[in-house]
């Protein structure tokens, strides 16, 4: 009997439908710099280096992690694409880079356009929030590697910064103030622990009179800080930036500090959202473990001179930013007390 690719588990027609249905979402992100079209073999982007004397390309790649498992369970697929973009662009903006373009990689066991199109729509929305173009990607149907219509998502962002304006943290000192920009919730980290802790909890129940279910609160996408940070950089000298992802404040804040300095953050100053309190109480998780796993309500930390702190807070007022600590001489990396 003659065999076909479809009999082996790969539906080419579904793939063609997927590409056709995402064209409108991709087109929303296009800029005059994009020279290629969806369906080509590669993405083409013309660099506009106006005002940049020494251009340096800055790149970042990441995925969504096991948050996708909740997406399957809750049948919510239009937010993980935003997470994917956010995890990449929030990293590259920490070096002061302006995002230029993005590519995504979506792999699934069985291609269901009704779901995968929603995922790409989320990617498109994330790109729009970041002010960059989605210039290409790949959708792979891989039966036997992924089960059923389970999928995984990863992405790759490229930005540009003037070499003389790269944010390195080298000028951070004991006259530096740390400002926290709030997260929108759990973002896209620690979901293996979240799923383990809440495995017997009703995710469809309303959470804390929010008008949303617990599942919807958990699926709230990662906040994209690009426009807020770039606007701040236009007005205030930013000495350092830390995107608070896996490892929480404990791991990520020290990454921007020069040798001989440590961060001193007041735990009581942190505005910890209720979702983290639920996770901690349900799982009987220590505070140290929470701080070393989750963002605890702070998605981005900005380091500025004390003299510029008031202006920075004013500029970031619409983001709900607030002072969370200071930098001092020391070698402990970070102290949260």
Q: What is the pLDDT of residues 170-194, one digit of tens each?
A: 999 999 999 999 999 999 999 999 9
Co-location of 267 and 160 in the same domain: no
In the predicted model, what is the mean pLDDT of the chain? 94
How many domains does the chain contain in total? 2
> Has residue 31 been placed in a domain?
yes
The DSSP bridge pattern shows strands 98-108 and 133-141 to be parallel
Which domain does 228 fall in, by range? Answer: 176-336
**Residue of 231, 229, 234 lying closest to 303 (CA atoms):** 229
> Has residue 7 been placed in a domain?
no
Do residues 99 and 156 make contact, with C-beta atoms less than 8 angstroms apart? no
> Has residue 6 been placed in a domain?
no
Co-location of 330 and 184 in the same domain: yes
Given this model, what pLDDT does residue 332 score? 93
Co-location of 193 and 148 in the same domain: no
> Has residue 118 been placed in a domain?
yes
Q: CATH no. for residue 115? A: 3.30.1330.10
First and final CA of the chain: distance in angstroms? Answer: 70
Query: At a CB cut-off of 8 Å and minimum separation 6, what does 235 contact?
Result: 311, 315
- Least confident range from 23-27, 259-263, 331-335: namely 23-27
> Of the candidates 145, 165, 185, which is a domain's last residue?
165
Residues constituting the chain: 337
Co-location of 330 and 185 in the same domain: yes
> Of the candidates 165, 188, 203, which is a domain's last residue?
165
Helix (H) or strand (E) holding 121: helix 113-130
> Has residue 1 been placed in a domain?
no
Helix (H) or strand (E) holding 27: helix 12-28
Instruction: Compute the distance between CA of residue 131 and CA of residue 37 in angstroms, rounded to an integer.
Output: 18
Instruction: Compute the distance between CA of residue 334 and CA of residue 109 in angstroms, rounded to an integer.
Output: 43
Given this model, what pLDDT does residue 228 score? 98
Co-location of 76 and 186 in the same domain: no
Helix, strand and coil content of the chain, in percent to the nearest 5, comes to 35, 25, 40
Co-location of 122 and 215 in the same domain: no
Q: Per-residue pLDDT averaged across 257-280, rounded? A: 97
- In the 8-state DSSP scheme, what is residue 46? -
Co-location of 324 and 201 in the same domain: yes
Co-location of 105 and 193 in the same domain: no
> Of the candidates 165, 189, 216, which is a domain's last residue?
165
Confidence of residue 21 (pLDDT cuts 50, 70, 90): confident
Q: Is the pLDDT of residue 240 over 50?
A: yes
* Residue-wise pLDDT tens digits, 88-124: 999 999 999 999 999 999 999 999 999 999 999 999 9
* Residue-wise pLDDT tens digits, 195-237: 999 999 999 999 998 999 999 999 999 999 999 999 999 999 9
Q: CATH no. for residue 312? A: 3.90.650.10
* Residue-wise pLDDT tens digits, 125-184: 999 999 999 999 999 999 999 999 999 999 999 999 999 999 999 999 999 999 999 999
Q: Is the pLDDT of residue 292 over 90?
A: yes
Q: Is the pLDDT of residue 2 over 70?
A: no
Co-location of 150 and 197 in the same domain: no
- Output the six-digit token pair for 326: 């200071």
> Has residue 279 been placed in a domain?
yes
Given this model, what pLDDT does residue 281 score? 97
**Residue of 26, 227, 188 lying closest to 119 (CA atoms):** 26
Given this model, what pLDDT does residue 3 score? 65
Co-location of 50 and 181 in the same domain: no
> Has residue 2 been placed in a domain?
no
> Has residue 171 been placed in a domain?
no
Confidence of residue 40 (pLDDT cuts 50, 70, 90): confident
Co-location of 122 and 227 in the same domain: no
Given this model, what pLDDT does residue 1 score? 45
Co-location of 210 and 155 in the same domain: no
- In the 8-state DSSP scheme, what is residue 176? E
Backbone torsions φ then ψ of 59, nearest 5 degrees: -125, 155
Question: How large is the greatest C-alpha to C-alpha distance in the chain, in angstroms?
Answer: 78
Given this model, what pLDDT does residue 16 score? 65
């Amino acid at each position: 009997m003659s065999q076909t690719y479809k009999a082996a588990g790969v539906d080419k027609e579904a793939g063609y439908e997927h590409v056709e249905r995402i064209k409108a979402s991709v087109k929303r992100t296009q800029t005059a710099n994009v020279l290629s079209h969806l369906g080509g073999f590669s993405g083409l982007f013309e660099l506009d280096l106006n005002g940049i004397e020494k251009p340096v390309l800055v790149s970042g790649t990441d995925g969504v992690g096991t948050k996708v498992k909740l997406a399957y369970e809750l049948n919510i697929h239009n937010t993980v694409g935003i997470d994917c973009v956010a995890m990449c662009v929030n990293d590259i903006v920490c070096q002061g880079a302006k995002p230029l373009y993005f590519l995504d990689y979506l792999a699934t066991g069985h291609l269901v356009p009704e779901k995968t199109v929603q995922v790409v729509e989320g990617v498109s929305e994330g790109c729009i929030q970041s002010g960059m173009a989605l210039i290409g990607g790949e959708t792979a149907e891989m039966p036997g590697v992924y089960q059923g219509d389970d999928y995984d998502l990863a992405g790759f962002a490229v930005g540009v910064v003037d070499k003389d304006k790269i944010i390195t943290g080298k000028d951070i000192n004991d006259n530096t103030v740390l400002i926290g920009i709030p997260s929108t919730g759990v973002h896209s980290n620690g979901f293996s622990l979240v799923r383990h802790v809440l495995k017997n909890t009703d995710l469809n129940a309303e959470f804390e009179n929010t008008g949303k279910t617990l599942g919807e609160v958990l699926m709230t996408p990662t906040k994209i800080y690009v426009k807020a940070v770039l606007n701040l950089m236009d007005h205030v000298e930013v000495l350092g930036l830390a995107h608070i992802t896996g490892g929480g404040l404990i791991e990520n804040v020290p990454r921007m500090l020069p040798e001989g300095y440590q961060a001193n953050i007041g735990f009581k100053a942190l505005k910890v959202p209720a979702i983290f309190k639920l996770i901690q109480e349900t799982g009987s998780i220590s505070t140290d473990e929470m701080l070393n796993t989750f963002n605890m309500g702070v998605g981005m930390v900005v380091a500025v001179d004390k003299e510029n702190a008031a202006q920075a807070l004013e500029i970031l007022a619409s983001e709900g930013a607030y002072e969370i600590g200071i930098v001092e001489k020391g070698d402990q990396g970070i102290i949260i007390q």
